[in-house]
Structures are given as structure tokens and as C-alpha cells.
Chains A and B, each alone.
Chain A
């Protein structure tokens, strides 16, 4: 099943927006304008965009520490994202969250999460809410290969399958959890095979092939909406950068492995498919799209820089709902 050319162009636009956003976030982080830590999603863009393209507005997602891509794919506002990274009061979390904690409940983005495996039950709870609401909504849990070894993964899959929750569990298997290779921590190479133990479909897809991701997600969403329960989708992918963008971050991965994966870049793959196979994109259009995206990211940075830092006393606001200090 091929998405329409318009939809593919939109997917391309979103993937490239993530790519350009992460490049800029990394650059500004290294320049000292963004604090703490940045986990770049570069290389994995097809997973977030492929899955979110199969969703409707009311559907919900829960993300991870590597969450910028999921936010953008779900439609988050780049100004407010960048302002949050810059620690400004106009940011999504008024400067209280930063890179690892962006959320936008209005668009069904229920939060990035700094705890590996912590988001999986939260997404499952959103899936339960969707089932109780009975309006056909689905919930998606994004998580890494590292998180797939946590108890919360297994507990959640068992509950979701037993209760037939309208869920997608999307494992972004980039072969590493921080500096630790999955090969050293997984009893079996594939995560998807674990679905068998929970009586749900377990699908392995090339996570750098957006149409494969989109296909798998579309099938899983249809199954979830039909009340048939959850699906585990394992996307085989790779992050180009080190675990974080910290200059001191270790890089245990062999250089040839990194280079090999860069040749499977999901963005040129979609560009080629649109240009060569379908005749739906010209070089000029692609260049124009990239220019627009770069301009949009620049304006997001300008917005962030023009925004004020929060007042120090604002640290006391929102400890509790309904109470402002």
C-alpha cells in the first residue's frame, strides 16, 4: 500500500524538519544556548513520521528521552519546542521541562519521558482511557530496545493484550541502549518475537523505510480501532550520533557500522522513491522544501531567543494544579 504522493511529500517534509531541527538543536547545545542534554533523533526519522502518519488527530502518543522527532511528527509547534529547549517562558513547559520532557496534550503528545521504560505504562493507561471512551481512539507507545528489557514493557503488553487495548507498541531498535549493545543484553536478537508470549502480532519492519513503517502502523491502527487489540512493531533502525550530544559522550560503536547505516538514510530513500519511481518530486521542489524548512527552524530559534526567561519566582508555580504561588 503506497500513501498518496501528497502524503509522501508531507512525510518527507516532516522527516526533513526533524533532521534540520536536530542539527540546529545540537549546534545550539554545543554553543551553550541549550542546556542539560540533547538526544538526537537523526537517522530514525522514518519511525516517528511513518507511525504518526497513520494516526488521526485525536490519537495519543507517549515518547521517550529521544523525543523531538515524535513531537514534530505529531504536529508540535516548532517555536514552542525550541523555546523549551532554550529554557524560555514561552516554551511548551514554560521552561520547566527541557529537551527530555516536551509535551503537548492538546495534540495528543502525552510527553517525552526521562525514565527508560517509564512511558510504556502511561501510554497503556491512555490506551485504556481510549477504550473506555469508546470513540475509536488509539494510543502509541514509542520506546527503545533498551526499554524493551524493562518489566514495564512486559507487564504492559500482557495487560494490553488481555484487555484488548487499542495500542501500538513501537520499539525503535537502534541496537544500543546508551553505550551498551543490545547484543549484550537481549537473550534474543529480535524484540518483536516477544509478542508471541502475549498473543499479539509482532511485526519487524525496516525502520528506515518509511512506507514499510507506515504500512505496519496502518495495519496495527486498523486492528486497534476494530477492537482487536494491540500490536508490537519493531523498527530496525540506527541513530547516527552518539547517545547524547555531550562532547564527552562515549562512542563504543564501530565506525564502519555507523557509516554503513548512514547509507540507509530514510530521507534520500523517500526522495528517490518520489523522484525516480513516481515522478512526483523534482530537484527544485526538494531544494525549495529544504530551504523552507531551514527558514522555519531559523524562525523558531529567533522566537526562542526573543522570548524571556521565566521569572525566578515562577519556579513555585504549578507544583499543584489549581494553585499558583
Chain B
């Protein structure tokens, strides 16, 4: 199987869907050369720097029979388009009584590690998770990137594809052929029996590294990747926690009202899962600050494999 990067897996997904369906087209402020070469400027539409308007245009085009893909690059720029996302795309299928579908894929890179400071290092997915009418995906591997993004483009609803800055260069096996990863299905990235670590995006990779460390200490870690943040696959997470009896959530975003909080609620509000738990749930998240620039500061704010391992030890020693 060919190995490609996370970033190229995203480009491949879009190219495959554009070949498959002539109604798929992209709005972007800077075109990806390979896509522009293959599909031309009508379908790879380079816009003026007008995120609010081209995102709103995607709503109008979707309501007129197209499947636009809106690429803001960084989620930072997507904030300029909050009206068409929040007030329009997520709501008008419902508000108009379901008479028209609005298939739109939003693509936005999230997370830190880029030394670009607060405006360009953001993980605001929980801000979007409670928008009813919006699905939110966040792949952690090149394989999931291609499969989830293709599923997003085929979905008849607005889907937010958050994509991790840290993982853009990560290589992994990605089949050339057509496949989709279903939206709303978590994936067990490593099986274990002593503790469940739910990781999000880059934190899946860090959790896998921490699991190796803990293995040497005789601890068997199960790593669960939700892959879709909304709707969240609570069943898979709860089943894992019932098996291991312990839960740690690792997220590059801050903890406050975060995806991590939602995951812990989904597990602990279920009586069976709660009964099976041998220790309180634990979170390893970013500190609640805007992301600073200097590497010393940035590294201090973000969680990593060492902090996950420390967290696992803390959960295991709790009683």
C-alpha cells in the first residue's frame, strides 16, 4: 500500500470526489497547484480574501444543487465566516422544514506546534460541536483523513473537517482505491485492558507513544480515537471504559467546556459505565491560555506523550 502524508491524503480525497461528482467544487484563497492543474479555475475557485462571503456563497451554491468544499486553511480565518457557518449553514435545513439539503464541507487546520502564536494556533472544535446541524470530524492518520473527508463531501449536511497542523507531514498507508470512513464511528487504535485513553487528533499519536512507554511498565493501554467529534460515538467509548475501568482523555485544546468534557460526560453519565469505573476520569489538555510563540512557552502549554504517561500513572494509583 502506498504511503502518503496526512496533508496529501486530504488533497487525494478532494481530487477523488471531484472526479466522481461534477457538482463538487472548492472555494479557497490559494489554490493547491495539483488540483488547479487537474480541475481548472472554475472548480478550484480562488476567491478574494472574503471568508464571510465565499462561505455564504457556499450555502447558496449548496442550496442550488452543488457540493462546495470551503477551505479556509487555518480555522483562524474561518472565524471571519461565523455568520454563514453558525446562522446559516447549520440551521437552514432545519429552519426551512427540511425542504432543501445543504451539503457543504468546511476544511480548517487546527492545533499548535507551528510556532505561529495565538491567532494561528487554535483548537476551537468544541465551539462548533454544540451547533446542532453540523457534523465535526477530526482525523488522526492519513488513512482516516482520506476516508473521513470523502465521507464528509458525500454527506448531505454541513460537515466541519478539522485537520491537525501537527499531523500534516505524518506519513501512513493509504489505499489508492475508493473507500470512506463512516462519520460518527470511533476507532480503537490500540487494544489494552488497564486504562482507556481517548485521544483527539495529534493526541492519538501521542497516546500511542505513551502506551508504548506504559507497556514497558507493565500497563496495558487502550487508545480510542473518536474520529468524529459530533455526533460522538459514545457507545465505543463507553464499551472501552467498561472493559478497562479507567478513563483518561487527551486533547490539544484547553479543558474548559471542551471535547474532553463531553467525552467524560458521555462515559460517566451512563450508570453501567460509571459502576465499572475504578478511578475518577482524568484529563490531559492544553493549559487555558492563548497559545504563546516562544518554543519554551508553547511547549509548556501543550500536553504531550510524557504528560499522558504521567496522567496514566496518576489514574492507576488513584483509589
Contact = CB atoms under 8 A, between A and B. Distances in A.
Interface of A: 60, 62, 91-97, 101, 103-106, 110-111, 113-115, 117-118, 120-130, 132-133, 139, 151-152, 155-156, 158-159, 162, 317-322
Contact of A129 (B52, B56, B61, B97): B61
B97 A118 contact: no
A92 B96 contact: yes
A103 B61 contact: no
B212 to A, nearest CB: 39
A105 B54 CA distance: 21
Interface of B: 25, 42, 47-48, 50, 52-66, 68, 83-84, 87-88, 92-103, 132-133, 135, 156-157
Given A103-B100, A320-B133, A125 B60 contact: yes
Given A114-B87, A122-B57, A101 B64 contact: no
Contacts of A124: 53, 56-57, 60
B117 to A, nearest CB: 25
Contact of A125 (B64, B87, B97, B156): B64
Contact of B64 (A60, A96, A151, A319): A60
Nearest to A122: B60
Contacts of B97: 91-97, 318
A122 B48 contact: no
Given A96-B95, A101-B96, A155-B53, A319 B60 contact: no
Contacts of B66: 129, 132
A159 B53 contact: yes
A77 B101 CA distance: 21
A152 B25 CA distance: 21
Nearest to B49: A155
Contacts of A115: 83, 87-88
Nearest to A60: B64
Contact of A105 (B61, B100, B135): B100
A156 B53 contact: yes
A122 B59 contact: yes
Given A159-B48, A317-B98, A122 B63 contact: yes
Contacts of B98: 94, 317-318, 321
B96 A128 contact: no
Contacts of A96: 94-97
A132 to B, nearest CB: 7
A151 B52 contact: yes
Contact of A121 (B57, B65, B103): B57
B65 A129 contact: yes
A121 B84 contact: yes
Contacts of B42: 132
B60 A93 contact: no
Nearest to B53: A155
A320 B97 CA distance: 11
B52 A111 contact: no
Nearest to B68: A125
